[in-house]
Amino acid sequence: GSRQSGSFGLMAAAISTNEQLASLQRDFAPHLELQPPRERVACSLRPRANPTNYSDRKAFDPTGVLSADEATGMAELEALEARGLELCSALYTYRSIARALPTAGGDDENKRAMYLTSFEVLHPHVQRVKELMYYKDDAVAKFCASLALCTGPGSDGLLLALSRVFDVVAVLDSIKDTKACLSNDLSVYKRAFAHCRADVTNADAIFNSNNALQLFLAEKGPLLSALKAAVHRLPGAEESICAMAHLCAEALEGGWCLLPAERHRMLRACACLVWLLDCPAGGGPNAFLSRKLRRDRLGRLFKVSPVVPLYGDMHANLPLILRRCPNFSPAAAAELLPHSRREMESLTGSYDVVAAAGSLRSLVVDYTMSLPTLLLRAEALGGRRLGRDERGALARAVYEQVLRGCRYMAAVHSRLSEFVAWKCAHPVGDAALAESAAGGTSEAING
């Protein structure tokens, strides 16, 4: 019933998505007839932000810009983020192993041999899941230690590093909560371990870690819950959380994010930071009453992009994140969420890629007209010895042109990925499908 309706809704969303993508391709095709380069150019928009890992951190102390402790914290957070992203990939691609294992049968000796084999097959995969449990303890400890350093004016870099780790923790929790196969594999693993425990080394340590993992998997959002409990034991936690949220908002408003993934990460972090700040009555600050949090500033962001990509084919619904706050109410969250009819209509239109095709098309036309002019100018001046000012002006023009092209590509990619996330968050119901089949308008499916 409901599962079949949901699958039909997603299928209709996919069909509508393909139609809109085909429309965009037809619109942009006439303007993309540039000659490709003669040789393939290898480039990346994801360079390492810190190739030296702050090995020169001691030199920062006399400048007053960044202390050695902050640099050390940023280096640890970047390593923690990289480890968390690896766990995201491993967890997202995890598939059940226990379903492929045969049921133990035959005499006792044969059963014991089969259980031992099942244990050996499952053991490396369960160990990977246990890495997530161990990551929680490391993430909470290093996050709190670095957050305690965010007291001076030169902490922006540390706050941004904290926001990246915080988002990785939130993504890990979201992926883990969707993986029911983790608990299934652990149950089969524990059953096999119970029958072959005498043949396994370090049996006591495995037994204890299995029990801990079972409690970890049974809890919803264990990483964020542990992080929230630890953060609010720190002095000045409210000021640091608000500063982190405001810095993410400043990055979004100021166009600091070149890649769509960075922009989506900032939006997710803003919503999760509101949840992190909010505590039950008497247990800490109220995010919806705190004078230190600029809710109007965050609300302008949430009302434009309430649904953003999360990881892979998953999406993050920012209003749902806010609804998990202990002090949430529609009246209290009026500054943060769209509620008027005009805001809801504007919100639906902001995800319409076909409506945005006109403005994107004009940007592409303008870019393709200015690019040949700049290339001819660079080619004409390439064989001459230029003065310092003339050489700097040409380099600046090339840099701005490349940056503008990257921003246009990012804008198209961001539009499409957010459109797909919106469609996944709003699957089409049976009524809309029936109306479409009867010859009605396609607004019900597109909406």
The partner residues of 307 in beta bridges, in order of sequence, read 317
pLDDT tens by residue, 194-240: 988 888 888 999 999 999 999 999 999 999 999 999 999 998 889 99
User: Of 75-84, 158-167, 376-385, 416-425, which gets the smallest average pLDDT?
Assistant: 376-385
Among 24-33, 87-96, 403-412, which range has the highest average pLDDT?
A: 87-96
| Residue 60: predicted pLDDT | 58
**Per-residue pLDDT for 315 more than 90?**
yes
Contacts of residue 357, Cβ cutoff 8 Å, sequence gap at least 6: 23, 24, 27, 28
Which stretches of 232-352 are DSSP H helices? 237-253, 260-277, 295-302, 318-323, 341-350
Q: What would the pLDDT profile of 262-295 be if each residue is shown by its tens digit?
A: 999 999 999 999 999 999 987 789 999 999 999 9
Mean model confidence pLDDT for the chain: 82
In this prediction, residue 338 has a pLDDT band, given cuts at 50, 70 and 90, of confident
The continuous run of DSSP H or E covering 13 comes out as helix 2-28
- Evaluate if residue 10 carries a pLDDT over 50: no
Smallest CA-to-CA distance from 78 within 155, 134, 143, 22 is with 143
- Pick the closest to residue 264 from 236, 304, 295, 226 (CA basis): 304
Residue 311 in this model has a pLDDT that exceeds 60: yes
